[in-house]
Structure 1
Amino acid sequence: MSKGKRLLEILLYATTKKRFTAQEIADEFNISIRTVHRYILDLSDMGLPITAEQGRNGGYSVITNNLLPPLLFTNEEAVSIFFAFQSLRFYRNLPFDTEIHAVTHKLYRSLQQDAKRKVDKLQSYIAFWSPVRPVDTPLLRDVLEHCIENREMTIQYESKSGINTKHLRPIGIYAHNGLWYMPALDYLKEKVLLYRVDRIVSILSTEENNDPFMNLEEWFSSKQEERAIRFHVILSMEGVRECKSDPFFDGMVVTNKDGTGYIDSVIDKGNIRFIAPFFYRMGHHARILEPRELIHELCLQAQEILNFYQNGD
Structure 2
Amino acid sequence: MDTSARLLRLLSLLQSRADWTGAELAERLGVGLRTVRRDVGRLRELGYPVDAAPGAAGGYRLGSGTALPPLLLDDEEAVAVTISLRTAATGSVTGLGEPALRALAKLQQVLPSRLRHRVTAFRSSVVPLTGAAAETVDAALPAAIAAACRDHRRIRLRHRRGEQEQVREVEPYRLVHTPHRWYLLAWDTGREDWRTFRADRIMSPLGQPGARFTPRPLPHEDAAAYVSTSISVAPYAHRARILFHAPLAEVAPHTSPTAGRLEAVDGHSCVFHAGSDSLREIAVHVAAKGFDFEVLDPPELVPVLLEVAERLRRAADGSRPHGPGTAAGS
TM-score by length of 2: 0.51
Q: Could you tell me which of 243, 266, 284 is aligned with 1:232?
A: 243
Counterparts in 2 of 1:1-313, with a 5 A limit?
A: 13-16=45-48, 65-68=66-69, 70-93=70-93, 99-123=99-123, 134-138=134-138, 139-160=141-162, 162-202=164-204, 203-204=206-207, 206-213=209-216, 218-220=221-223, 223=226, 230-232=241-243, 248=257, 265-267=270-272, 272=275, 285=288, 289-292=295-298
Which AA in structure 1 matches 2:115? A
Which AA in structure 2 matches 1:92? S
Aligned partners of 2:176 and 2:182 also within 8 Å: yes
Aligned partners of 1:15 and 1:65 also within 8 Å: no
Could you list the per-position Cα deviations for residues 272-292 of structure 1 after superposition, in whole angstroms to 9, with x for gaps in the alignment?
359999858859746883543
Q: Which moved more, 1:143-152 or 1:82-91?
A: 82-91
- The offset of 1:111, in angstroms, is 0.8
Which AA in structure 2 matches 1:66? A
Matched position secondary structure for 1:76? helix
Q: What is the number of residues matched between the two proteins?
A: 232
CA–CA distance in 1 between the matches of 2:164 and 2:191?
A: 17
- The offset of 1:74, in angstroms, is 3.2
Aligned partners of 1:173 and 1:180 also within 8 Å: yes
Aligned partners of 2:176 and 2:224 also within 8 Å: no
- The offset of 1:150, in angstroms, is 1.8
Which structure shows the higher helix fraction?
Answer: 1
Percent of residue pairs identical:
16
Which AA in structure 1 matches 2:47? T
Compared CA separation, residues 245 and 153, structure 1 to 2 (3 A): same
- The offset of 1:166, in angstroms, is 1.1
CA–CA distance in 1 between the matches of 2:281 and 2:100?
A: 32
Which AA in structure 2 matches 1:165? V
Aligned partners of 1:151 and 1:169 also within 8 Å: yes
CA–CA distance in 2 between the matches of 1:108 and 1:216?
A: 44
Unaligned runs of 5+ in 1: 19-63, 235-242, 253-262, 300-313
- The offset of 1:132, in angstroms, is 7.9
Compared CA separation, residues 285 and 219, structure 1 to 2 (3 A): closer
Compared CA separation, residues 150 and 12, structure 1 to 2 (3 A): same
CA–CA distance in 1 between the matches of 2:66 and 2:275?
A: 47
Could you list the per-position Cα deviations for residues 44-89 of structure 1 after superposition, in whole angstroms to 9, with x for gaps in the alignment?
xxxxxxxxxxxxxxxxxxxx62312x44333333213323444544
Aligned partners of 2:184 and 2:196 also within 8 Å: yes
Compared CA separation, residues 293 and 120, structure 1 to 2 (3 A): farther
CA–CA distance in 1 between the matches of 2:112 and 2:271?
A: 46
Could you list the per-position Cα deviations for residues 195-217 of structure 1 after superposition, in whole angstroms to 9, with x for gaps in the alignment?
10110125455313141345799
Unaligned runs of 5+ in 2: 9-38, 51-64, 234-239, 246-251, 263-267, 306-330
TM-score by length of 1: 0.53
- The offset of 1:294, in angstroms, is 11
Could you list the per-position Cα deviations for residues 9-49 of structure 1 after superposition, in whole angstroms to 9, with x for gaps in the alignment?
8666322369xxxxxxxxxxxxxxxxxxxxxxxxxxxxxxx
CA–CA distance in 2 between the matches of 1:274 and 1:108?
A: 50
CA–CA distance in 2 between the matches of 1:100 and 1:294?
A: 51
Aligned partners of 1:85 and 1:100 also within 8 Å: yes
Between 1 and 2, higher relative CO (CA 8 Å, sep ≥ 6) is seen in: 1
Matched position secondary structure for 1:232? strand
Aligned partners of 2:89 and 2:97 also within 8 Å: no
Compared CA separation, residues 190 and 173, structure 1 to 2 (3 A): same
Aligned partners of 2:149 and 2:172 also within 8 Å: yes
Compared CA separation, residues 130 and 274, structure 1 to 2 (3 A): farther
Matched position secondary structure for 1:272? strand
CA–CA distance in 1 between the matches of 2:278 and 2:3?
A: 60
